Amino acid sequence: MTEPSGAGIRDAATTPVIPGLFPDPSVCRVGEDYYLVNSSFEYAPGIPIWHSRDLRTWTQLGNVLTRETQFPAGVSAASRGIYAPTIRHRDGTFFVVGTNVERGGEQFVVTATDPAGPWSDPIVFEGLGGIDPDLAWDDDGSCVLTYCALDEALRPEDGSLPVIAQVRVDLDRGIRLEEPRVIWRGSGLAHPEGPHLYRRGDWWYLLTAEGGTERGHAVCVARSRAIDGPFEAAPANPIFSRRSTGFPVQNTGHADLVERPDGSWAMVYLGVRPRGFTPGFHVVGRETFLARIAWADGWPVVHTDNVLPARPDTSFTDDFSGTELHPRWVSADGTLPGPHPAGGLALGSHDLAVRVRDLRWRFEAHVDASAPVALRVRLDDQHWYEITLDGDAAEVRARIGPLAASMRSARATGDVVTLVVEAVDATHDGPDDLRFGLVDADGERWLAALDGRYLSTEVAGGFTGRVLSLRALGATPARVVSARYLPLGDE
């Protein structure tokens, strides 16, 4: 692989093309257009979908799962919900296949003729216990669903799980045509998962993620003359990994390939940007990165020397003037946000959240002080910091596992108050400090600064990153006049 050189270059090796909590990327191309989806876990609407013309600059079209008939409310815990979708296109139809782990790891398929939606209700394939499904079509037009199997019935003689399994399906009738079979046990690293199949020339290539989605994460590949194997491993496996290096992007894996119109190939993959003292803390989740693919002796070779355009504009100001929310807004408890009256947002007890996109940032919520309201930086329900406003009382609170505490309180003045949180440089050994304050009739002032490491995946576990959520504290709806997010500095 080729490494970047030169100060100030915005290179794909260290800069995500889709920053923030957008993991497990899958991509397809239709003509000159590329479409990409990500895992969404407990957040609803589910499965963000993006569009690009160059693989480097992406615009969110919307979300795939926008109705309760597609994604029933009631996710049981953080880092559950919707896992690792794959997007494919065939004969004018887009297909997204994914896993709902709330339903025993069921594999489902939704379809659309327009990637912006609406998407169909799911076709559910029961009895395929596992995650990370992929769709591919054999030369005879038959469809195969390949996935990371966790079903005891498919456990090999050596006792290893997971394995990569495959089953032929009829998408028109929504049925399996056979019992699933094991096609690959991995190259020898832990946790073979995230399979994707591609036809190139006379070969079928099977791309997998191995090593676990932490620091040992890697991309591996095998190939076969037939879609169902037998597969032979690439001699250079893993073909891509940052494990055991000091590179600023780690946990690289769970990749997908796409062929460009000119016949060249590219790869999207996930990575994290850990910071702070050992073990390093990543806080915005697993992000989407880009690489180019060369081919040598019939095998893909990964290069990370792409030069990127100016940083994505992650800033936004939302005055909630329309009745429909921008697709960036999600619910943190699996409850689909509904329409609202124009001119301000009425909050209930369900969290309304937006993903953090940058390493340094500022978020402001301009709120009506007549009803109790909270602004929270959330990793999960057991790891969060927040600032609340209840009448004229502002308070900063924290929860880290079973420990909860009030950090500081202050008096607020005025009918409308701006609650503020910033991620700034760390004063200890963590990735950052999160400082909370407010702007009221008396001006701007800071109440508390808290160590950001406790809102990291390395502390809390799981598969997600930080979101910024707003909610009413009581039965009375709270009104948010506007919200603003700004990155701080260039990354």
Question: CA Rg, the chain, in Å?
Answer: 23
Q: Enter the tokens of residue 488.
A: 């701080």
- CA pair distance 26, 36, nearest whole angstrom: 5
- The answer to whether 272 and 282 are in contact (CB under 8 A) is yes
- The answer to whether 346 and 481 are in contact (CB under 8 A) is no
Q: Enter the tokens of residue 432.
A: 């950052």
Cβ-based neighbour number of residue 242 at 10 Å: 22
**Cα–Cα nearest to 164, from 151, 182, 190:** 182
Owner of token pair 């919200």:
483
Q: Catalytic residue positions?
A: 24, 193
- Which residues of the chain are in CATH 2.60.120.200 domains? 316-487
> Which sign does the torsion angle of CA 162, 166, 167, 173 carry?
positive
Residue 64, burial from CB neighbour count under 10 angstroms (0-12, 13-18, 19+): buried
**Cα–Cα nearest to 385, from 450, 437, 465:** 450
Question: What is the full per-residue pLDDT of the chain (491 aa) written as tens digits?
Answer: 334 334 446 889 999 999 999 999 999 999 999 999 999 999 999 999 999 999 999 999 999 999 999 988 778 789 999 999 999 999 999 999 999 998 777 899 999 999 999 999 999 998 898 999 999 999 999 999 999 998 887 877 777 779 999 999 999 999 999 999 999 999 999 999 999 999 999 999 999 999 999 999 999 999 999 999 999 999 999 999 999 999 999 999 999 999 999 999 999 999 999 999 999 999 999 999 999 999 999 999 999 998 888 788 999 999 988 888 999 999 987 777 766 766 788 888 889 999 999 999 999 999 999 999 999 999 999 999 999 999 999 999 999 999 999 999 999 999 999 999 999 999 999 999 999 999 999 999 999 999 999 999 999 999 999 999 999 998 899 999 999 999 998 76
pLDDT at 489: 82
- The answer to whether 388 and 372 are in contact (CB under 8 A) is yes
**Strand ranges for 140-279 from DSSP E:** 143-149, 163-170, 175-176, 181-184, 193-200, 203-210, 218-224, 232-233, 240-241, 250-259, 265-272
The string of DSSP letters for 177-200 reads SS--EEEE--SSSS--EEEEEEEE
- What's the whole-model pTM score? 0.95
Q: Kindly list the distances between the CA atom of residue 337 and the CA atoms of 72, 324, 381, in Å, as whole numbers in the listed order.
A: 13, 9, 19
- Which residues of the chain are in CATH 2.115.10.20 domains? 26-303
Q: Which CATH number fits domain 26-303: 2.115.10.20, 3.40.50.300, 3.90.420.10, 3.10.520.10?
A: 2.115.10.20
pLDDT at 1: 39
The partner residues of 240 in beta bridges, in order of sequence, read 219
Torsion of CA 38, 39, 42, 43, to 10 degrees: 0
Q: Enter the tokens of residue 445.
A: 């002032």
Which class in CATH covers the domain with range 316-487? mainly beta
Q: What is the pLDDT of residues 330-385, one digit of tens each?
A: 998 777 776 676 678 888 888 999 999 999 999 999 999 999 999 999 999 999 99
